[in-house]
Every structure is written in C-alpha cells, then in structure tokens.
Structure 1
Amino acid sequence: MAYRYWCGECSFRTAWLDEAEGERQQIEHYGRRHPGTPPGGHVEVGRSPRGCCGCLVVAGIALLLLIAAAACPR
C-alpha cells in the first residue's frame, strides 16, 4: 500500500510513500512549519505503485488476443 499524508493546517501533502516514510515527513513538516502544533490532517490510502499498471497489462493482453482471433481464418 502507498500512503499520502495531508497537513491539517495548510495545503502540504507528501508524495505517495510507504507508511513510515510518509508519517516521518509529516512530522518533520509540522516541526518546521507549525512548531508546537501536534501533527494532524488526514491520510490518503492508495495502491502500491508497483501494482498501478496491472489493469493496463490485462487490457493489453485482451487486445492482443482479440487481434489474433480476428486474424485467424474461419
């Protein structure tokens, strides 16, 4: 899974990262930009970046099979 942390005080957000790195960056942001304020905001949860193209691969294979079937004589 990938996580994006959003600041509750401003428009800052982290990149899509693993949970520990995203949390670390949010804490560092609060320390720099909002000292004395406990980290808040919300966390967006998404798919792993490694799996983001899975449906494109399936669609590509289906398209190739369709082309191959159309090219075969009946």
Structure 2
Amino acid sequence: MAYRHWCGECGYKTAWLSESQSEEQQIQHYATHHPGIPPGGSVEVNGKDPSGAVGCLPMLGILVLFLILAASCRR
C-alpha cells in the first residue's frame, strides 16, 4: 500500500510513498514550514499502490501456471 500525508496547517501533501517515508516527509515539512507545531493532519491510503510493488504478482502467477502445465505434460 502507498500512503500520503496531508498537512494540518496548509495544503501540503506528500507524494505516494511507504508509510514511514511519507511520515518522515511530513515531519520534515513541519520542521521547515511550521516550526514549534507538532505534526498533524490526515493520512490517505491508496490500496492500489501506484509504485507498482504488486506488479510482479500477476507474472508470478503466470509462471506458476506454466510450471503446472509443464509438469502435467511430462511423461
């Protein structure tokens, strides 16, 4: 999954990143643009994961199917 943190003080939002990377960017934003204010706002979760980390799963599924097919054709 990918996460995007929104600033509670202004319209800033992080890029779609891992949860820890997004949180770190929000902390850096607050330190730079809102010093003395604890980080706040909201977190948006993208289950589609635009980073493509799940993109290899369909290929692994096809590979497994080919292996099953090859094993069943063997004499």
Shorter-normalised TM range: 0.5 to 0.7
- Give, in whole Å, the separation in 2 of the partners of 1:23 and 1:13: 11
Secondary structure at 1:3 match in 2: strand
Secondary structure at 1:42 match in 2: strand
1:3 is matched with which residue? 3
Structure 1 residue runs of 5 or longer lacking an equivalent are 53-74
Q: After the TM superposition, which parts of structure 1 deviate over 4 Å for at least 4 consecutive aligned residues?
A: none
2:26 is matched with which residue? 26
Q: Tell me the amino acid that sits aligned with residue 34 of structure 2.
A: H
Corresponding position: 1:45 with 2:38: no
TM-score (norm 2): 0.65
TM-score (norm 1): 0.66
- Give, in whole Å, the separation in 2 of the partners of 1:41 and 1:27: 11
TM superposition shift of 1:19: 0.4
TM superposition shift of 1:40: 0.2
Percent identical among aligned pairs is 60
TM superposition shift of 1:42: 0.1
Structure 2 residue runs of 5 or longer lacking an equivalent are 56-75
1:13 is matched with which residue? 13
RMSD: 1.3
Higher share in helix: 1
